[in-house]
Structure 1
Amino acid sequence: MQITDILAQTGGLQSLARELGLSETQAAKGAEALVPAILGGFKKQAQSQPAGAQGLDGLLGQLGGGALLDQVLAPQPTDVSRGDNVLGEIFGSKDVSRAVAQNASSQSGLDPSLLKKMLPMLAMLVAGYLAKQRGAGDEGNSSPMGGGLGGLGGLFGDRPAGAAGDAPGRAAPGLASMLDLDGDGNMLDDILRMAGKVMR
């Protein structure tokens, strides 16, 4: 199952569409283009944490845990500053976020300024979902959504990139392959290089 299908099941795409004045189709297109970079950022964080997955769990909890998902789903306007905090942790620079939005625009046909507004909300949805799934014991697929991120194994290095069942790698193959320029399975280093080119 693709991550955008999961976000639709949780009501996340509907919330994005409502808050940003988009159709659900437009919200889904934006999510398909942006989510691979967000997942790549979390993968980078997972690999850099000294305690591996436990370190990532700590980071997710520090960022707000499952409450991040709940806040986007709530009828009140989303406090996107929490999403900006997530982006700061996984990308480290607003320049990277701008580069991600610009590249997603070329893939989705949506305006980059709109995608920049969508990015922190999507980061909250993904972080909140990861926190809820991991808290429920993702390795045993005890999540009610059946481990829709491929059990997260492929995302956090338990399986080779592209292994069977790695939903994140299939979320938007065009953008994912474009961002992973050196083919190492981790697109974040390539995103950072692209951001440097944008700045120059």
Structure 2
Amino acid sequence: MNLTDILQQAGGIESMAKELGVSPGVAQQGADALLPAILGGFQKQAQGSGIEGLGGLIAGLGGSGLLDSVLGSQPTPVGQGNEILGQIFGSKDVSRTVAGHAATQSGLDAGLLKKMLPMLAMLVAGYMAKQGGQTAGGGAPAGGLGGMLGNVLGGLVGGGSAPAAGGLGGLGQLIDRNGDGNPLDDILGMAGKLRG
């Protein structure tokens, strides 16, 4: 089962669709186009600050409450999602480029995908925190989050056996493979390969 299916089962895709005024099918298509870049951003963050650092970042931004914020009946506080995107992508330019690339890949409107991006980042971060046993404001054993991130990324990119809990295994080479210090080209390349 891939992450889009998991988020759909949790009700995230439907909540996002309702809030954005689109069909669940369109929301699913957008999620499929955006998720590889979001997961790549989380992986890059984990490489830079370690799984503990990523866990601390997610906890500081709301932990599992991020998932609940998107699933709740109130409008999603996308400021938290934009904060996550700022941390994992580094700049709004990267977010815009990711949305533009996903629009080209999926045929969906880039404006819609830009609105979807922070919600999806919150769903993914909240889901990882929940799976890692992390509550809003509370830390969890880093192995829980590390194993979760490793499993999600391993299942998405490898399809083979997932890395051991607490580590990302050989997935580190996926981001910034050309070593130019700018992972955007690599994230977008990875997004294209994963969709193909």
**Normalising TM by the smaller chain, what interval?**
0.7 to 0.9
| Conserved 8 A contact 1:87-1:97 | yes
- Report the Cα offset of residue 34 of structure 1: 0.3
Distance 1:13 1:37 in 2: 17
Q: Of the candidates 129, 132, 136, which is equivalent to residue 131 of structure 1? A: 129
| Conserved 8 A contact 1:13-1:27 | yes
Higher RCO (CA < 8 A, seq sep 6+):
1
Q: How many residues align?
A: 169
1:151–1:60 distance in 2 versus 1, CA, 3 Å: closer
Is residue 153 from structure 1 mapped to residue 150 from structure 2 by the alignment? yes
Q: Which residue matches 1:15?
A: 15
Q: Of the candidates 166, 185, 198, which is equivalent to residue 174 of structure 2? A: 185
State the secondary structure of the residue aligned to 2:44.
Answer: helix
Normalization by structure 2: what TM-score? 0.75
Q: Of the candidates 100, 105, 110, which is equivalent to residue 108 of structure 2? A: 110
Structure 1 stretches of 4+ moved >2 Å: 136-140, 149-157, 187-190, 192-195
Unaligned residue ranges in structure 2 (runs of 5+): 135-140, 163-172, 189-196
Distance 1:20 1:13 in 2: 11
- Report the Cα offset of residue 53 of structure 1: 1.6
Q: Which residue matches 1:179?
A: none
Normalization by structure 1: what TM-score? 0.74
| Conserved 8 A contact 1:69-1:126 | yes
Distance 1:112 1:83 in 2: 17
1:63-98 per-residue CA deviation (whole Å, 9 max, x = no partner) reads 110101000000111111111101000001000000
| Conserved 8 A contact 2:13-2:24 | yes
- Report the Cα offset of residue 185 of structure 1: 1.3
- Report the Cα offset of residue 103 of structure 1: 0.5
Distance 2:161 2:24 in 1: 26
Distance 2:152 2:142 in 1: 12
RMSD: 3.1
Q: Which residue matches 2:70?
A: 72
| Conserved 8 A contact 1:37-1:187 | no
| Conserved 8 A contact 2:52-2:142 | no
